[in-house]
Amino acid sequence: MFKKILIANRGEIALRIVSACKELGIATVAVYSEVDRNSMHVRFADEAVCVGPARNYESYLNVPSVISAAEITNVDAIHPGYGFLAESAYFAEVCETCHIKFIGPSPRVIDMVGEKARSREIMQQAGVPVLPGTGLLEKEFATAARLAQSIGYPLIIKASAGGGGRGMRIVRNEGDLARAFDSAQSEAASAFGSSRVYLERYLERPRHIEFQILADEHGNVIHLGERECSIQRRHQKLLEESPSVIMTPELRADIGAKVVEAIRKIGYTNAGTVEFLFDEEGNYYFIEMNTRIQVEHPITEIVTGFDIVKEQICIAAGEKRRYRQEDVHLQGHSLECRINAEDPISFAPCPGHISAFHPPGGPGVRVDTAAYTDGDISPHYDSLVAKVIVHGRDRAESLARMKRALEMFVIEGIKTSIPLHQKILSNPDFVRGKLSTGFVDDLRREY
Ligand code: MV4
């Protein structure tokens, strides 16, 4: 097992990883930018190294600086968290070259899965349903136009090196294809350094559901069920839940088995998330895969009892995890609300000074946060202040518990998205479980 791990991240996920390391008896090294000097992850790590000024590229994305911090503190491994360098095959490669274990999949797998058109093909070959679409398209518009005919409209153009909704273009008729194809390719080239795109039939108002995977380095692979992530705005998830109201034990087992088989085939190791869209008839389609721990991982931890971050560390240390799918059961219902420092109406980020901070507690409430009274939410990084996660015996109890927890969450000095969550939780369609990726847009039209 590792003796010391460097955490190449900040905020709540850095603190989450410190917690897992402490419980495993592993020493921790925090890295921080100049504006994060007084952060909680710095306070609770055993050692801390300043890696540069506030700007991402000069600190948390500064590979030479982060690797130097790892070298001088003589760590065995690096946990990248989510965002920043978490899905950088280059960073994983540099870690390997420096004989530092990257806590995540191998650089080869990160590269392969990161090419979204390629991961579509891999899943399709493994018998996982995908939407009608194409493989990789470079410059050839003529090919795209021909293939678009067979896919049908509406279709969506996606950046193959993208993900998370960046560089996507929805095309509703043939006349719009040429312009959309050009702009998608140029955005992909500037945002991801690759103009490769692919086409897919576009699903209007789907449900967005993802499966959590754990795979050790000895061929043991399990899934930990699904997370419903349809409540999002512009590809930013706001509220997630597990299980999904549309999932049955049979469907979960069927999809889970297909996903586990595909993961085994590609030689995937560590934690991963496989994303699906569900249409109104309940048909499901693979869209993409993520090779990192997700923000919303706690709802899966709560309903399954697994500590996913600890599993990531044990897997990376080469431990044989005696996973058995029959040992995985989802107990009760869990909800997570992401509390952002933002205006609840305009969604404009509202960083600032927190004059009072008192998180809710009581039965079935977990709050993952690095915020504190008299702390600051920086304008340099994402606006996440805290994740409120609740567990109930069923969805109704989870809803009631989340409403109570948000009502008892004291955050003064900054605006937050709590009022928006309270609107969502009281919305009749939400209460009925009638969700889709269009839910938040519909909600905003009503208010
Ligand atoms: C789609 C889709 C509909 N049809 N693909 C968004 C980010 C990434 N996870 C994939 N995403 C989607 N892919 C097809 N073929 C709908 C989404 C999607 C979405 C799209 C536009 C606006 C908000 C969205 C929220 C979740 C999923």
List pLDDT tens digits, range 278-290: 999 989 999 999 9
Reply yes or no on whether the pLDDT at 163 is more than 80.
no
Reply yes or no on whether the pLDDT at 445 is more than 90.
no
Instruction: Please name the residue whose Cα sits nearest to atom 17 of ligand 1.
Output: 165
* Number of other residues whose CB lies within 10 A of the CB of residue 163: 22
Q: 132 CB less than 6 Å from ligand 1?
A: no
- Tell me how far apart the alpha carbons of residues 35 and 187 are, in angstroms, rounded to a whole number: 31
Q: Does domain 207-444 have CATH number 3.10.150.10?
A: no
Over range 138-144, report the average pLDDT: 84
DSSP, residue by residue, 184-228: HHHHHHHHHS---EEEEEPPSS-EEEEEEEEE-TTS-EEEEEEEE
| Pairs from 46-50 (Cβ < 8 Å, separation ≥ 24) | 46/4, 47/73, 49/73
Instruction: Please report which confidence band the pLDDT of residue 322 belongs to, taking 50, 70 and 90 as the band edges.
Output: confident
Q: 164 CB less than 6 Å from ligand 1?
A: yes
Q: Tell me what pLDDT residue 113 has.
A: 93
- Tell me how far apart the alpha carbons of residues 274 and 212 are, in angstroms, rounded to a whole number: 7
Query: From ligand 1's centre to the CA of 235, what distance in Å?
Result: 8
Q: 199 CB less than 6 Å from ligand 1?
A: no
Q: Tell me what pLDDT residue 166 has.
A: 77
Question: First vs last Cα of the chain: how many Å apart?
Answer: 53
Query: From ligand 1's centre to the CA of 167, what distance in Å?
Result: 11
Reply yes or no on whether the pLDDT at 38 is more than 90.
yes
Nearest ligand 1 atom, CA 229: 26
- Asked which of 36-50, 115-129, 240-254 is least confident by mean pLDDT, the reply is 115-129
Q: Does domain 4-103 have CATH number 3.40.50.20?
A: yes
- Tell me how far apart the alpha carbons of residues 98 and 108 are, in angstroms, rounded to a whole number: 17
Reply yes or no on whether the pLDDT at 400 is more than 70.
yes
Q: Tell me what pLDDT residue 220 has.
A: 96
* Six-digit token string for 325: 């799918």
Over range 184-210, report the average pLDDT: 94
- The pLDDT tens digits for 105-122 are 999 999 999 999 999 999
* Number of other residues whose CB lies within 10 A of the CB of residue 100: 20
Instruction: Please name the residue whose Cα sits nearest to atom 10 of ligand 1.
Output: 165
Non-local (6+) Cβ contacts of 75 within 8 A are 2, 4, 5, 6, 29, 100
Q: Which residues are catalytic?
A: 292
- Tell me how far apart the alpha carbons of residues 299 and 83 are, in angstroms, rounded to a whole number: 19
Non-local (6+) Cβ contacts of 134 within 8 A are 117, 143, 144, 147, 151, 198, 199, 200
Q: 209 CB less than 6 Å from ligand 1?
A: no
Reply yes or no on whether the pLDDT at 139 is more than 80.
no
Q: Tell me what pLDDT residue 357 has.
A: 98
Q: 208 CB less than 6 Å from ligand 1?
A: yes
Kindly tell me the sign of the dihedral angle through the C-alpha atoms of 92, 93, 94, 97: positive
For residues 310 and 20, is the Cβ–Cβ distance under 8 A? yes
Reply yes or no on whether the pLDDT at 231 is more than 90.
yes
Query: From ligand 1's centre to the CA of 238, what distance in Å?
Result: 15
Parse the chain into domains and list their residue ranges: 4-103, 132-201, 207-444
Helix (H) or strand (E) holding 44: helix 40-44
**pTM (two decimals):** 0.96
Query: From ligand 1's centre to the CA of 120, what distance in Å?
Result: 14
Residue with tokens 């050790």: 216
CA–chain centroid gap for 397, Å, is: 26
Beta strands in 53-206 (DSSP E): 77-79, 101-102, 155-159, 169-171, 197-201
Instruction: Please report which confidence band the pLDDT of residue 135 belongs to, taking 50, 70 and 90 as the band edges.
Output: confident
Nearest ligand 1 atom, CA 275: 9
What CATH number labels 132-201? 3.30.1490.20
Residue with tokens 């990531």: 312
Pocket test for ligand 1, best of 277, 292, 444 (most atoms within 8 A of CB): 277
Q: 203 CB less than 6 Å from ligand 1?
A: yes
- Tell me how far apart the alpha carbons of residues 202 and 177 are, in angstroms, rounded to a whole number: 13
Reply yes or no on whether the pLDDT at 293 is more than 70.
yes
Reply yes or no on whether the pLDDT at 409 is more than 70.
yes
Reply yes or no on whether the pLDDT at 299 is more than 90.
yes
Q: Tell me what pLDDT residue 447 has.
A: 58
Q: Among 308, 279, 415, 312, which Cα is nearest to 368's?
A: 308
Reply yes or no on whether the pLDDT at 253 is more than 70.
yes
Query: From ligand 1's centre to the CA of 411, what distance in Å?
Result: 32
Residue 234 DSSP label? T
Q: Tell me what pLDDT residue 156 has.
A: 97
- Asked which of 134-143, 182-191, 215-224, 413-422 is least confident by mean pLDDT, the reply is 134-143
